[in-house]
Amino acid sequence: MMTSKLGAVLGVASIAGLAGLLWFATRPPDLIVQGEVSADRVDVSPRVSGRVAKLNADVGDTMKQGAVIAQLESPQLVAAMLATQAALAVAKADLDRVTSTRPEVIEAHEAEVRAADADVVLYLSDKDRQTKLVETNAASQARLEQSSRNLESALRAREAAQANLDLAIAGASKEERALARTKVEQAEATLNQQQTDVKELTIFAPIEGQVTTRVAERGENFSAGAPIYSIVDIAHPWLTFNLREDLLKGLKVGDSLSVMVPALENARVNARVTVINAQGQYATWRATRATGDFDLRTFEVRAQPVEPVEGLRPGMSAILTWPRPER
């Protein structure tokens, strides 16, 4: 009886083993998804136009962030800045002129007022004397009228001298001062912009990385925005894959992946998913059947190595083993 029971157990185990082997034999193999190693790339270009005077890096060089990578020159820009500096000096001198009056000018106008006062006193005394002479018939009426006209002219001259003195003390009008001040501000703004443009002739490396492309040669003219170098941040690579949406299987940011890199002797790289981003409509998988199937979008999956991997460089292939979708 024990023998029959043992035989039954062995029979069940054999059937289970055969079923397992059959399942493994008929199960579709996992997908092999090929991606690549990528890294941030920056195209270095000037903000202003100029001629290349100096190049401090070549392809393959590693640049520190903030290091001078190229020097441009622009004689026209420097000349314009010098002209604006001269215009600013003229505008400031004009502002000083309209907002203040020299003491010598005020003293001169005060002297004119005193002279006018003296003329008024003189002609007033002459008129009084002529009036008395006319009363005693010692002078003609015409002489008295002439004296009166002289006095009137002296009074008008004193008023004019006093007005000139008041104007010198008060300085220019409010409108003249505002106009002169505006000219100074305008010249200062133009100069600040030109000084900034001159500083932009010195080009700094925006990131730390390796120079992968050099377009410029010494003596060439480059317009604003034209790339001179390309720098790649090889110290912080990441892995990118394109997966159809039916392959995602609940994949989420933060999940771990084991990626094989053939260029590093099939070394395994542990990475963490950082981005899952839908590609454009051009990357949509179209259904080939009218019914029973549907279009599928393609998603970009990015993963960051958990630890630095020596020798990992942009452009290397990355192989990911991925389970097939269940039908």
Confidence band of 284 (pLDDT split at 50, 70, 90) = low
Instruction: Over range 70-82, report the average pLDDT.
Output: 94
CA 34/CA 320 separation, integer angstroms: 6
Helix axis angle, 75-99 to 174-199, nearest 10°: 160
Task: Give, in order, the Cα–Cα distances in Å from 234 to each of 39, 77, 165.
Answer: 6, 36, 76
Confidence band of 13 (pLDDT split at 50, 70, 90) = low
Which one is predicted more confidently, 213 or 22? 213
The CATH code that applies to domain 42-72+201-232 is: 2.40.50.100
- pLDDT digits over 234-264, tens only? 999 999 998 888 888 878 899 999 999 999 9
Predicted pLDDT at 214: 94
Tell me how many degrees the CA angle 4-5-11 measures, rounded to the nearest 5: 90
Predicted pLDDT at 23: 45
Label the pairing between strands 41-44 and 68-73: unpaired
What's the mean per-residue pLDDT of the chain?
A: 82
Which one is predicted more confidently, 142 or 101? 142
- Asked whether residue 164 carries a pLDDT value surpassing 90, the answer given is no
Predicted pLDDT at 301: 92
- Asked whether residue 75 carries a pLDDT value surpassing 50, the answer given is yes
Containing 308, the helix (H) or strand (E) segment is none
- Asked whether residue 192 carries a pLDDT value surpassing 90, the answer given is yes
- pLDDT digits over 26-38, tens only? 456 678 889 999 9
Asked which of 60-74, 107-121, 214-228 is least confident by mean pLDDT, the reply is: 107-121
Confidence band of 14 (pLDDT split at 50, 70, 90) = low
The CATH homologous superfamily for domain 29-39+235-322 is Efflux pump adaptor protein, beta barrel domain (2.40.30.170)
Predicted pLDDT at 78: 93
